[in-house]
Amino acid sequence: MGHTLKNIYILIITLSTWLAPLYLPETSHAQNEKESNRTFLSLYQEAADKYHREKFDEAIQLGNIIRERYPDEPAGVFGLLTSYQTIMRNYRVRIYESKFDSLLNLSVKLAKKAVKNNKKDGRNYFYLGCAYGSRCVFKARRGEWLEAFRDGSQVRKNFKKAIRYSPEFYDAYYGLGLQKYWLSAKSKFLRALPFARNNRQQGIEYVKLVVEKGRFLKVDAKYGLAAIYYNEEEFENALEMTDHLYESFPNNPTLLYRRGRIYQKLERWAEAKETFDELDKVLTSAKYQSVSYRVELMYQTAKCQFHLNNMREAQRLCEEAIALEKECDFSKEIDGPLEPFSDIKEELFELVDKVKAIRVSEVKSSAQK
C-alpha cells in the first residue's frame, strides 16, 4: 500500500489526526440501578477530568477501580485506554503500547458481548465502533494493514447503528462526522467527485452538532472541529475553538502545539513563539520524554525567531536541534499529528542554511560600510 494511501486510511479510521480521548456513557447493566449508575458516571468523569488535566497517575488509578467494580462493562475499559492513549499522543511516546494492545482486544470483546445482550441499544454499537476504531489505528501504525482494514470496515457501520437505535444519542455523530469529513478532504480519489464537498460539509455539521448537543464528547468535538478548521485553512475559527479548550486545559501539550502552529499560519509570530515557550516548560518538566518532539519544538521556535528577525537565536536553536536529532529513537517515539518527522528534519536543515546565508550576508554588508 502506498505511503499516501496509508496516511489517508489512518486519518479516516481514527476519525481525526487530533482525536481526543472518548467519554463514554452509562453502562447498560446499570441503567436500572440508579445509584450504581451515578457511581459509575462519577468515577468515569473524574478519571476523564484527571487525564485531560495531565494527572495521569490518578486517572489510571481510577481506571483500575472502574475495571474492578464493573469488569463486564465495555465503557470501563475505555477509562484505562484513553489514559494510556492520551499519554502516548500528548508526549509522542510508545511506552504503553503493550498494555494498550491488550486493552483494545478486551474492549472489542466486551463491546461485542454488550451488543449481543441488547441489540437495540445504540450505545452498545457506539462502544463497538469506538473499540474497532481504536484498534484499527493501532494496527495501522504498526503496519498490520490487513487487520487494520478488517477492523476499520466495522467502524462506520457500528456508528450508523448507534444513531439508528438511539437517534438522540448525539455523541455518535462525532465518529460519523469526522469520518465523512476526512474521507472527502484527504482522498485525492474522491475530492473531484460531486458528492465529496457535500460529505465534507455534512461531516462538519455533524461535529458541530456534538459541540452543541453532545453529552460526553463536547470536548472531543471541539478538538476535532479545530483540526477540521485547520485543514480547511480557516485559521481564525481554529484559534477560536482552541481558545475555549485553552481556558480549561492550559497545560495540555497537544493543545499548546496546535495553538502554536495556528499562530504560525496567521503569521502572528510573537504569539506563536510565546505558545511554544509554554510548551517547552510543559515538556521539560514532563515524566514522559520524546527527543523527536524536543527537536521539532526547537525547529518551530527557531522558525518564529527567523520571522521575528532574530537570526542569532534562530541559528542557535537550529544547531541545537540538529545535534539532538542524532538521539532520536523511533522504537520508543511516534510522529506528531501534522507531518512525519522526516519532513520536519528536512525543513530544519533548510532553515539553518537560510539563516546562515542571511547572517553571512549581514556581516559582509556591515564590513563594506
The confidence band for 101, taking pLDDT boundaries of 50, 70 and 90, is confident
Res. 8: pLDDT tops 60:
no
Domain boundaries, the chain: 3-232, 256-368
What CATH number has the domain spanning 256-368?
A: 1.25.40.10
Distance between CA 365 and CA 13 in Å, rounded? Answer: 54
Res. 203: pLDDT tops 60:
yes
Quote the pLDDT of residue 333: 95
| Top-confidence residue, 140 or 202 | 202
Distance between CA 93 and CA 113 in Å, rounded? Answer: 32
Res. 1: pLDDT tops 50:
no
Cβ atoms of residues 47 and 225 within 8 Å: no
Sequential DSSP letters for 122-158: HHHHHHHHHHHHHHHHHHHHTT-HHHHHHHHHHHHHH
Res. 17: pLDDT tops 70:
no
Quote the pLDDT of residue 192: 52
The CATH superfamily assigned to 3-232 is: Tetratricopeptide repeat domain (1.25.40.10)
| Top-confidence residue, 41 or 168 | 168
The confidence band for 7, taking pLDDT boundaries of 50, 70 and 90, is very low
Establish whether domains 3-232 and 256-368 are of one fold: yes
| Top-confidence residue, 208 or 181 | 208
